[in-house]
Structure 1
């Protein structure tokens, strides 16, 4: 009974304080790891930062004990915004204190990049960071992915945001009816139920990927960081990506299969399904993503093969397979906004003969993965809604008086004006992209750099910065204002413009 009462007291705390407290406790994981390795300076940085966080959370909780917060879906959305924008101020403390060779702004930028699952690599030399710091970066990204898993169903879905605005649930920013009356009366119950349901799944899948990578021959820390990064689609690696991996083809194959969890939420949960009976193999997002994953690498290989037939009738099958696999893995990685590039991606580029293959990866990152997953971008469901609208318009060219049907297959997930809302979301993404490009250009960046940085930040695909740019972009060399603009862009890309607009409501700020 006492434990239940204490748990009830914790649940009455503001959501942001709960997240802050969990983040403080999580700092002791890399602290213990650093202490085991006898790196006392780094261990102390994490231990004392976590202690400071717990003291601050306790003091604020005691000060607010007599004034319990008024919970609501919009209030939880505001807490989610604070988690991505304000919490990195605290998360950067151990990174700044443990590294001691970087500025606090750089540490804050790196933590925003991690918690939003962007994974922009500010520290290009992996040997510069202690393994405990690498673990912390991957751990923050992993926790940010878990936050999005939970928030998608507990916060965004009731408000019809984050891709749910084009389904049959409701209008953007408006709470929809829920069969769980207790959850409607107190959103904390819904948040608690979804957290207890999804957290074991997320942790279990991460452990499974970790063990599989170690069996494939990967080093323990690298396997753990890659497992956390692929689940969170953050692309954070302690060895500089797949080139530094020891697992080889087997490791890439394991990560490839785990990337499919970012194509559709139905691959791991049906809590946001409109009918409750949808199968992921019938899901339009999963099928659209699978079509893109198969089509683009095959076209890249065929482009070279058809051109080579004019010169040499036979080609090396081994090289063809390497090129195909390099394209298949990399296309899947950037479509899910993970950002891992295959070791054979250079071979795929040579086979395709394209002068600027980074544009393809940038386009894939813009499309993004599934709704309510850890992937960023525009989302596959919106792309599918626009595709259906295009088919319908072509039908009307042939049969102007025909009546379109949308009650079969995956069309059941899309409401009547879903294509229009999808187009609005896409245009908001495009306008945000243009605005960020203009701001970065005004701060002295070239057009190419501004485009790549804007796409990478808005789509939460940080590794795109190293892959898509013709000339390397060194994030550490950017000015302070440019870094702050990119931080705001990463938060905007993680929450999306519609969610930010939904927060501008008198009902929220009046309370």
Structure 2
């Protein structure tokens, strides 16, 4: 019986399987709404789960008659289908539970959650708890899909950051020596090359194997963080949504302001540890070709992340003393007390936590962030967080942004060019991986930077079609492309519109004051930032569609 079911599922289209999984997940909010007194919302989720399940079952039966194997290059289309079509199904129970908000806004909310952006049209205090749970679950599922798709789809096609470390000799060079000069070298095949089909057979099976490898670790880490936050004092529901938002880097929160008020700094320290896996793929199964070093302490992504987080926290901390020098020196000196020392340490921690949170594009705000802002005395410290979100976390992780490995490749290339100015005939060292990062890796990283800059310019232009201030359009575009939705609330924006999304909040509590055209543009920007520009451009290659 098990073999029959496995064979039936193997012949179903992957998108239909994912839709069926979404139908099963709808039962979670239905059960929670039932036990918390939201009977109408429970019925909406139950009926939506049944409708989606029946729909997927009928398509699955139809697919059994004429099963068709998917080609590897079609998996990029699958990713577009997941982010373009799946939110339409996920939005059905949300729209039915909030009938005055409209289906379009519910779809936008699901796109934001599934891409782990975490932007919302609704004030947290105006949504029922079952809908907050559904947003968190969709964001959690979106983070899991990113981890699976990275090694099952993007890695074989050498896109999504894997192109930087792609091996021109077809094996792990840091473990094996180069072949003799008389041995033929196997070149790297591009995704448009028809020979990819022979190497990447059965992509659906790759997705299944990757899901079985990553799933237990992903769910186990979420469970451990949930239990840890419970033990530190967070309410059970907030602890659950906070755990799912941390592992998926969606930053979805059911409360206004900081979600860690109950557990305090102790809870943030625990969350801080679970944000580290968003800095490097080596913490997750798969992606071994991204390991630039054998030793964890020498990992370039982790070292660069530690340097950036420490630099931002120290700058915010020392800014207080620099500002004190500018004050009137004739004023009498105050005696330092233990309260002042505690406030200083709290401000330092607020800078550390917020820097790592936005570097991983999660967007959690520390309970001590207000102290950090007041301590630094800067008018707009949120712009520093925007810069961190632009850099992003590790390649093939749930984090968005440009990615740390690309920044590292460009930095090493710049360092090498400065060395050549001083010593023109010098020979670069560091090993084969370092040389490849400085050469081909830096070249590909520069191309991605240019494409990312063009994407920002294009999105800002489209957003500015309506009467939106340029600064606001820029921050909204960066928040969408980097999948860091909470960034819009960390930087003061210019309120332009009235809230028009039903029970939605004031314009800059969420994103509800934007016109529908602007929302659609930003939703497309979220999908583009999640899949990355290089992968999307590959779909426009004529060789990609050639049989």
Q: How does the TM-score come out when normalised to structure 1?
A: 0.94
1:439 aligns with 2:462: yes
Q: State the SS of the aligned residue for 1:456.
A: helix
In structure 2, relative to structure 1, the CA distance for the partners of 1:260 and 1:479 (3 Å cut) is same
| Alpha-carbon distance in structure 1 between the residues aligned to 2:261 and 2:99 | 27
Residue deviations 1:191-234 (CA, integer Å, cap 9, x gap): 22211111000000000000000001111111000000000000
CA contact (8 A) 2:293 2:299 kept: no
Provide the rounded CA distance (Å) in 1 between the counterparts of 2:446 and 2:430. 18
Q: Distance in 1 between matches of 2:334 and 2:424?
A: 49
Partner of 2:314: 298
Check the 8 A contact 2:11/2:64 in 1, yes or no. Answer: no
Per the alignment, residue 105 of structure 1 pairs with 104
Q: SS in structure 1 opposite 2:517?
A: helix
Instruction: Using the TM superposition, give the Cα deviation of residue 244 of structure 1 relative to its aligned residue in structure 2, in angstroms.
Output: 6.5
- The offset of 1:271, in angstroms, is 3.8
Q: Check whether the contact 1:160–1:175 (CA below 8 A) recurs between aligned residues.
A: no
How far apart are residue 469 of structure 1 and its match? 2.7
Q: 2:221 aligns with which of 200, 205, 213?
A: 205
Contact 2:155 2:287 survives alignment (8 Å): no
Q: Quick one: distance in 2 between partners of 1:176 and 1:141?
A: 35
Residues 1:402 and 2:402 aligned together? no
User: Does residue 157 in structure 1 map to residue 173 in structure 2?
Assistant: no
Larger Rg: 2
Aligned to 2:424, what secondary structure does the other structure show?
A: coil
* Counterpart for residue 459 of structure 1: 482
Distance in 2 (alpha carbons) for counterparts of 1:443 and 1:191: 41
How far is the alpha carbon of 1:413 from its aligned partner? 7.0
Distance (whole Å) between structure 2 residues aligned to residue 505 and residue 82 of structure 1: 18
**Alpha-carbon deviations, 1:230-270, whole Å to 9, x = none?**
00000100112425632111221111111101011112335
Structure with the largest fraction of helix: 1
How far did 1:282 drift?
2.0
Give the aligned partner of residue 490 of structure 1: 526
Please give the alpha-carbon distance, in whole angstroms, between the structure 2 residues aligned to 1:438 and 1:467. Answer: 22
Instruction: Pick one of 267, 272, 295 that aligns with 1:256.
Output: 272
Matched residues in 2 for 1:354 and 1:6: separation? 61
Does the 8 A contact of 2:260 with 2:267 survive in 1?
Answer: no
Q: How does 1:107-256 map to 2 (within 5 A)?
A: 107-124=106-123, 126-169=124-167, 170=188, 173=191, 184-242=200-258, 245-256=261-272
- Aligned Cα root-mean-square deviation (Å): 2.3
1:19 and 1:507 map into 2 onto residues whose CA distance is 28
Paired with 1:365 and 1:176, the residues of 2 have a C-alpha distance of 37
Gaps of 5+ in 1: none
> Is the CA contact (8 Å cut-off) linking 1:448 and 1:469 kept in structure 2?
no
Separation of aligned partners in 2, 1:5 and 1:415: 51
Match of 1:38 in 2: 37
Is the Cα–Cα contact under 8 Å of residues 292 and 300 in structure 2 kept in the other structure?
A: no
Secondary structure in 1 matching 2:163: helix
The CA deviation string for residues 34-93 of structure 1, in whole angstroms up to 9 with x for no partner, is: 111231100011111111111111122222223323322221221111111211111011
**Is the Cα contact below 8 Å between 1:281 and 1:287 reproduced in 2?**
yes
- Partner in structure 2 of residue 422 of structure 1: 445
Whether the aligned pair in 1 keeps the contact of 2:413 and 2:439 (CA below 8 Å) is no
CA distance in 2, matches of 1:505, 1:212: 48
Q: TM-score if structure 2 supplies the norm length?
A: 0.88
Q: Is the 8 A contact 2:253 2:259 kept in 1?
A: no
**Distance apart, 1:20 and its partner CA:** 0.8
Distance (whole Å) between structure 2 residues aligned to residue 508 and residue 111 of structure 1: 30
